Amino acid sequence: DWIMGDYIAEAVEKIRAQVGDEEVILGLSGGVDSSVAAALIHRAIGDQLTCVFVDHGLLRLNEGDMVMDMFAGKLHAKVIRVDASDLFLGELAGVTDPEQKRKIIGRLFVDVFKAEAAKLKAGDGGHKGATYLAQGTIYPDVVESGGTKTKKATTIKSHHNVGGLPEQLGLKLLEPLRELFKDEVRALGVALGLPPEMVYRHPFPGPGLGVRILGEVKKTYADLLRRADAIFIEELRNTIDPATGKSWYDLTSQAFAVFLPVKSVGVMGDGRTYDYVVALRAVQTSDFMTADWAELPYSMLKRTSGRIINEVRGINRVTYDVSSKPPATIEWE
């Protein structure tokens, strides 16, 4: 629509005026904010933008390829994909404590990103190097870090973000979404040509599957979880609620599978199985501070559990989490 068209034209001019002929680095996560920021900045300055996408090995099924297809394939943006899964899984080996896991993932993420950014900053023969770091900071993030919202006295979970990076890297900051609310960011993303499925995605935590595999993180667990989670999401997208005409994916705020490193006995054909358990979690919330578990249709849960147990060898039991927040949190770790 024309209002969004005007907004884009204005935002593009602002970015061009600020950046001039300098170069910009952006950390692409596949989430809504960094994706929309990347698409907008790319619209403004094209190849003066380089996106760095760190794959920590804890992403959802096909996530890395989807991000690359979208940004490198369709938008023709410069994207560097860093496959750091061995590094992350190596450092996480033997670690079971949730806070320690978060700290390790957060630290490694910053290390890997910094190393890539340093290379881009240094430039090479033909390049003078990057001088800007772009971030998908949106208005609610600005308000939160300004202390306008009351801060919780105790840290329930240390959230992994990349605060302080521009200073550490000696880069100037470019934050073109700073004045926008989430729904405006989504509308902007659609207007920039990002697919609605990407722009209206549920949030995904920075530490990824690292906090959805309880206790020690192992590649074999992550592989099982990815497949179970993909089946759940597919069923949510494909199950339409007749009353609203919306999919259960759109009727929930966040939904995912959790891997429980616990074995239970089952029976399959003539044989006994002794395999892992997956818990499904789906919540409805407006602010993620409190949340209700979603009353998903039994028929959908039945189909989902049947598919997971049949299609994912190694999982023989599926449970549904009926805990609200508080006292439970949305994630299990």
Q: Which residues bind ligand XMP (CB under 6 A)?
A: 102, 156-157, 159-160, 203, 205-207, 254, 288, 325, 329-331
The reply to whether 31 sits in an annotated binding site is yes
CB of 111 to ligand XMP, least distance (A): 17
Task: Name which of 85 and 161 has its Cβ closer to ligand XMP.
Answer: 161
Question: Could you tell me the CA-to-CA distances from 226 to 9, 59, 217, 306, 315 in Å, in that order?
Answer: 39, 8, 13, 16, 12
Task: Name which of 119 and 157 has its Cβ closer to ligand XMP.
Answer: 157
Task: Name which of 27 and 205 has its Cβ closer to ligand XMP.
Answer: 205
CA 54 to CA 28: how far, in whole Å? 8
Task: Name which of 75 and 233 has its Cβ closer to ligand XMP.
Answer: 233
Count of CB atoms within 10 A of residue 29's CB?
21
The reply to whether 299 sits in an annotated binding site is no
What SS3 state is found at 315?
strand
Task: Name which of 52 and 58 has its Cβ closer to ligand XMP.
Answer: 58
The reply to whether 163 sits in an annotated binding site is no
CB of 192 to ligand XMP, least distance (A): 23
CB of 319 to ligand XMP, least distance (A): 18
The reply to whether 29 sits in an annotated binding site is yes
CA 304 to CA 236: how far, in whole Å? 9
The reply to whether 253 sits in an annotated binding site is no
Q: φ and ψ at 234, to 5 degrees?
A: -60, -45
The reply to whether 30 sits in an annotated binding site is yes
CB of 23 to ligand XMP, least distance (A): 27
CB-CB contact of 130 with 25 (8 Å): yes
CB of 229 to ligand XMP, least distance (A): 13
CB of 211 to ligand XMP, least distance (A): 6
CA 192 to CA 195: how far, in whole Å? 9
Q: What is the DSSP letter of 146?
A: T
CA 241 to CA 247: how far, in whole Å? 6
Task: Name which of 157 and 307 has its Cβ closer to ligand XMP.
Answer: 157
Gap between the terminal Cα atoms of the chain: 42
Q: Give start and end residues of each alpha helix (H) in 123-155.
A: 139-145
Q: Over the range 198-229, which residues count as b (16 or more CB within 10 Å of their CB) and which as e?
A: bbebbebbbbbbbbbbbbebeeebbebbbbbb
CA 27 to CA 30: how far, in whole Å? 9
CB-CB contact of 255 with 285 (8 Å): no
CB of 281 to ligand XMP, least distance (A): 10
**CA geometry: angle at 186 spanning 183 and 191, to 5°?**
125
CB of 309 to ligand XMP, least distance (A): 26
Task: Name which of 310 and 329 has its Cβ closer to ligand XMP.
Answer: 329
CB-CB contact of 225 with 208 (8 Å): no
The reply to whether 64 sits in an annotated binding site is no
Task: Name which of 136 and 176 has its Cβ closer to ligand XMP.
Answer: 136
Annotated binding-site residue numbers:
29-35
Annotated binding-site residue numbers for ATP:
29-35
